[in-house]
Chain A
């Protein structure tokens, strides 16, 4: 789809290019036509100007001719004027000239003024010319009768004619009769009509000649010549300007066209690169699905995806020890910083491992995973230790604070890799080992899947009434006769086999099933007491006391069975779990009101606190099994037990020894003065209900 649409876009652009090309081609051919037309107009204008110049020269020639010959056909001049008029009409109607060379056109029309002057002067010239011709021809005519004049007059007369003809024909020189000569004719026999007529002609010539020459020169020296020359210059200027303009226009169009082409190419490129960017974005999107935002390492999704494709590999799961504490010290920003730094360090380490298909992932808030193609345990162990070493050697500093960063590594080489490694990490937390391999040994006990199925089993067992207490007798060490029992919860599996709480109780504590189990044990124990009319010790945990529903259930049961309540002993395990002793004390107050007894379980193990112990005022102390077990071989245990028994006696508390499994222990505890005993030596827990 993407490709198709981009193809369409390109097609559209190509179409644009083609249409623009056609336009430019059209423009170019149009330009050529325009240029041809312009050139044509230029030549036409040049021709017209040449015509004007020729016309002008012709006019000058005709005037010259009209002077030279004694008689002249004036049609030549008038026809010339007519042609001249036609020529100017032609120019005036030359639209192309007006359009292409407005200055030239204007200047040519301005010539008309000069032409008009020339024309007017020419008319005056013709008048003078006619007078001169007439008078000369009349004087000439007198030459036929020259014999009728005296010698002197004849000489003067011929001289005068000669001067006039000379004057007339010498275009540039001002020649004329002298005043003396003129006066000679003027004063010669003024009464004689013949001389008078001659004088009239001489007078006409004498006065006309300067005027005639002046007109001729004025016409000849008309500014028309220079005007025409100037128009030629103007024409060439205008033509070159116009041509330059046209060429520039053409260049601009071509330039625009080129720019457009470049733009199109750019667009096409952009479409391509856009597609690339889109592809990259797609990749990035996928990447972001596969990458951790904070460290840019591959994430859990990536790991899950990747491990499908890798054979014969192992996973190292790196867990930061007490990362919550780091967060609480330097805040989440600091925590993030540490994670980023750690990610960089890990990347560095992994790069230096030189093992094929090694990849590093961030799979949880404070967990990293390294997948590597290596299954040798020793090598993996070494690598892990090396990693731990390197990280411990790295200074993590935030806000000028040196942050201690420690990691633990869980390793799994068998599938499912991640779950194995997670299990290994859990194990690490229990054992405080820095590196733990996943193995099937703890798979049964701690496997999450097993846990889940166990919870299901517990739930089903509750539903099917397969949770029940077993009862183990507690004997009077003097008589060896059971005087009470301890209720020990069991899960009866589908095969009728009793499963000890180790496998389900701790697990149940994390679910809502635990209170149910407690209630079942209490209910069934009360039932047992009613049947046997014997004292029963029931284990109660801080979690139970902390659970108001459990406490109110116990209260309710005690209230219901108030007459046998004195037979119930609650066994409390003192542990570091206890956060609020007030709840314990109020529980103890409550059971004491019903005459119940209180026993402290596992007394002597790590957490026993004497102050709390005496504040609880227990009736019975159950000494920790670990002390009793080897009491006959371990003097230290014996000393402790003796001290505790002494303490109990002084405080009016009964003492119970657990885990008695042979006669030697039995004999020793009796000797020490312990009141009661419990263990396999006397009886295992039994389903007595």
Chain B
């Protein structure tokens, strides 16, 4: 009797929580300065930011904010050591980079892509020189900031631009807003997503991105990486080994390959892997399919500040 009562209690506790508590739809950005965004966008797509004028920001963030390779090619085709995370819907992330070493977008920008030798490998001076020699940027900076080009304002423009990169109106968001119904498979997938405990880490607006978690929380993930750029790599805290910022699952269907090491190329495989190592469950094919169809509802529209001019690059 006592046990049964307890079970009922637990069920009550579960049924108490519904999806609209755990997940929130993306909301439109409030008004932004179009001139700054215009400049930011121009810079985002400009290869002159890289040392040898061969890659732009977009080169590695060309597919729903990420790209379709395990490791992106940087300047001089140098290959990075971690899978490019999506830079869409950044606003709701707890921090940036896989290991969350930057808490702001500005830090992120200065810590990583522009100066990293595996990425743009550039320097502030060169960029400023290039900006100052460009009539286009001279005008754009003038329009946006009413001053001549500077690296400082370049960073600002890029950050402001990044903030506008939201993939709005996914089916799931519209479901959360009670505009549409999920189909049977999607609904089942969502329930599995919750009941298998995926939701423990993947919750909130970005369905993830709001906490650090261990890769292999339940069952240790045998690493096959030479270098793990986990949280330990910069906190040097033993507890932080294999700890990563939980990635957002928005547009997950569009951002293969998966995981920090880009080791998994299909979503199904990723669902299975995560299910095993992080939820401690062995999912069957049906469950995987249902979860996959739920995850596909997380794909939103390309950001309007991004969409123009990237059609060619769209997969």
Contacts and interface: CB of A to CB of B under 8 A. Distances in A.
Interface of A: 69-75, 77-78, 81, 85, 123-124, 126-127, 129-131, 133-138, 140-141, 143, 155, 158-159, 161-162, 165, 193, 197, 200-201, 204
Contacts of A134: 197-198, 200-201, 217-218, 278-280
A75 B26 CA distance: 13
A81 B212 CA distance: 14
B264 interface: no
Contacts of B211: 74, 77-78, 123, 126-127, 130
Nearest to A165: B10
A77 B197 contact: no
A72 B217 CA distance: 17
B205 A75 contact: yes
B22 A73 contact: yes
Contact of B282 (A73, A78, A155, A193): A193
A74 B203 CA distance: 6
Ordered nearest first, which 7 A-B pairs have the shortest CB separation?
A134-B197, A75-B204, A133-B200, A74-B210, A78-B210, A130-B200, A137-B197
21 contacts: A71-B200, A74-B204, A75-B92, A75-B205, A75-B210, A77-B210, A124-B239, A126-B211, A127-B213, A130-B200, A131-B214, A133-B197, A134-B197, A134-B200, A134-B278, A134-B280, A137-B194, A137-B195, A138-B197, A200-B219, A200-B280
A131 B197 CA distance: 9
Q: Chain A binding site: helix, strand, loop or mixed by DSSP?
A: helix
B6 A158 contact: yes
Contacts of B243: 127
Given A126-B211, A134-B218, A71 B10 contact: no
A197 B281 contact: yes
Contacts of A74: 201, 203-204, 210-211
Nearest to A133: B200
Interface string B254-278: 0000000000000000000000001
A133 B218 CA distance: 11
Interface stretch (B13-21, B28-36, B163-171): B13-21
B199 A71 contact: yes
A130 B213 contact: yes
B24 interface: yes
Contacts of A133: 197, 200
A37 B10 CA distance: 56
B191 to A, nearest CB: 11
A197 B283 CA distance: 12
A70 B280 contact: no
Given A73-B204, A138-B196, A81 B13 contact: no
A256 to B, nearest CB: 51
B22 A71 contact: yes
Contacts of A77: 210-211
B310 interface: no
Interface residues of B, number: 41
Contacts of B278: 134
B220 to A, nearest CB: 10
Nearest to B2: A162
Contacts of A200: 218-219, 280
A137 B201 contact: no
A13 to B, nearest CB: 58
Contacts of A201: 218, 280
A200 B219 CA distance: 7
Contacts of A137: 14, 194-197, 200
B286 interface: no
A204 B280 contact: yes
Contacts of A161: 6, 10
B196 A143 contact: no
B296 to A, nearest CB: 22
Contacts of A70: 10, 13-14, 17
A123 B218 contact: no
Contacts of B183: none
Contacts of B24: 73, 75
A127 B205 contact: no
Given A74-B204, A78-B92, A137-B14, 10 more contacts: A70-B14, A75-B24, A75-B205, A130-B200, A134-B197, A134-B198, A134-B201, A141-B195, A143-B10, A165-B10
Interface string B211-251: 11110011100000000000000000001000100000000
Nearest to A142: B281
B146 interface: no
Contacts of B194: 71, 137
B25 to A, nearest CB: 12
B78 interface: no
A181 B23 CA distance: 36
Interface in B132-172: none
A112 to B, nearest CB: 13
A131 B217 contact: yes
A81 B94 contact: yes
Contacts of A162: 3, 6
B212 A123 contact: yes
Nearest to B205: A75
A70 B24 CA distance: 18
B7 interface: yes
A158 B280 CA distance: 18
A123 B212 CA distance: 6
A135 B204 contact: no
A127 B21 contact: no
Contacts of A136: 197
A133 B199 CA distance: 9
A162 B3 CA distance: 8
Contact of B196 (A72, A73, A141, A165): A141
B3 A155 contact: yes
A532 to B, nearest CB: 148
A162 B278 CA distance: 22
A193 to B, nearest CB: 7
A87 to B, nearest CB: 15
B238 to A, nearest CB: 12
A126 B202 CA distance: 12
Contacts of B17: 69-71
Contacts of B23: 73
Contacts of A124: 239
A336 B7 CA distance: 136
Candidate in A77, A137, A162 with the most chain B CB atoms within 10 angstroms: A137
A387 to B, nearest CB: 113
A477 to B, nearest CB: 156
Contact of A130 (B7, B14, B92, B217): B217
Candidate in B13, B103, B205 with the most chain A CB atoms within 10 angstroms: B13
Nearest to B237: A120
Contacts of A85: 103
B281 A138 contact: yes
Contacts of B217: 127, 130-131, 134, 204
Nearest to A204: B218
Nearest to B206: A75
A436 B8 CA distance: 154
B8 to A, nearest CB: 11
Contacts of B7: 143, 158
B21 A73 contact: yes
B269 to A, nearest CB: 19
Candidate in B194, B195, B211, B213 with the most chain A CB atoms within 10 angstroms: B211
A127 B6 CA distance: 26
Contacts of A158: 3, 6-7
A71 B204 CA distance: 11
Contacts of B279: 134, 138
Contacts of A75: 24, 92, 203-205, 210
Nearest to B14: A70
A135 B204 CA distance: 20
A348 to B, nearest CB: 105
Given A69-B13, A73-B21, A134-B280, A126 B218 contact: no
A138 B199 CA distance: 12
Contacts of B201: 74, 130, 134
